[in-house]
Amino acid sequence: MNAQSSPHPALEILSLYSTGDLPFFLRLRTESHVKECAACELQVLSIRAAKAELRREAGAQILTGFEAIADWQALEGDMLGNIRVGVAAARCIEKVGRTRKWTSRFAWAAGMTALFMAGWFTRVPLEDNRKILTALRRAIGLDQPPFYGTILRSSPDGITVRTQGATLTILHPQTAVISMSSPHSVTARYIDDDSGQVTITNVYGQ
């Protein structure tokens, strides 16, 4: 055979020849050699067989992976279950967060209230606190309700009329003599130390 006289092609050339990937002139020369050289022909057949086996094995492996996710109903059930679990978990987390938020708000408000009450009772005079407590007692019916008409009242320092939410006091010295002067008025009489004149103040409430 003539193939015995030409050198054998390299294994890479035979591999490319077996897949049809050689250039035209190199493929013709390699083909004439393989047809006359039984060893190279066997090598080409071995390569083609191995290649076919690799392709078959690759196809089998792809089919096995696809078959693993081919149960769509099971997959949908799993996904919906996972979603439900996630939603339920999120709700649980949200409820826990809300409770914590309200607890912290309540604690903050209670602290501020306690601070306010402490400041109030240490800064506001006792008499004012008594008035507030009296108002509260009236509000819940333990005391008689306040009088909303016109009030005329004398004190050592002045005569006061309270009506329409406002109060007018005409002041006098503590030596003044207090008396009624009409059904609607109270009078204070005193001597002005500077001028020596008698001054009489009247406060009216109708």
Partner 1 sequence: MCMGSKLGYSFGAVCLALLLVNRASAEENGKWLDVQFPHDSPVLLVAFNMSPTTVTVRRSSMVLDLHEALVLRNVGSKPICGLTLRVEAQDLTPYGKGSVIKPSLFVLPGEEFPVKVDMQLLRPISATKSESAMVQVTLDCALFSDLKAYGPDKLNSRRTLMVYELEARRDRQYLARLLDSGQLPELREELNFGNQDLIPRQLGLELLRGPGIPALREQALAVNPMPFPKAPVQPLSGAAQVAGNEVRAPRVEVRNTSKMRVASVAMGWIVRDDRGTDFVAGAVTSPVVIGPVQTTSISESGTLRFSRSTGQPMVIDRLMAFVNDVQFADGSLWIPSRADIDAATQDPELRRELATSPEEQRLARIYLRDGTAGLKKELKRVSLSN
Contact between 156 and partner 1 by CB under 8 A: the answer reads yes
Size of residue set near partner 1 by CB under 8 A: 59
Q: Which of residues 110-129 bind partner 1 (CB under 8 A)?
A: 112
Residue 192 engages partner 1 in binding (rule: CB under 8 A): yes
| 180 lies in the site for partner 1, by CB under 8 A | yes
Name the phi and psi angles at 185, rounded to 5. -145, 155
Bridge partner residues of 158 (DSSP):
171
- The enclosing H or E element of 101 equals helix 72-123
Part in contact with partner 1 (CB under 8 A); list of ranges 24-32, 81-89, 90-98, 178-186: 178-186
The 10 Å Cβ neighbour count of residue 176 is 21
Q: What is the C-alpha separation between 30 and 10, in angstroms, rounded?
A: 10
Q: Which is nearer to partner 1, 66 or 147 (CB)?
A: 147
Q: Is 103 in the site for partner 1 (CB under 8 A)?
A: no
CB 60 within 8 Å of CB 47: no
Q: Does 105 bind partner 1 (CB under 8 A)?
A: yes
Alpha-carbon distance of 84 to 70, in angstroms, equals 23
- Give residues in contact with partner 1 (CB under 8 A): 105, 108-109, 112, 144-156, 158-159, 161-172, 175, 177-187, 189, 191-192, 194-206
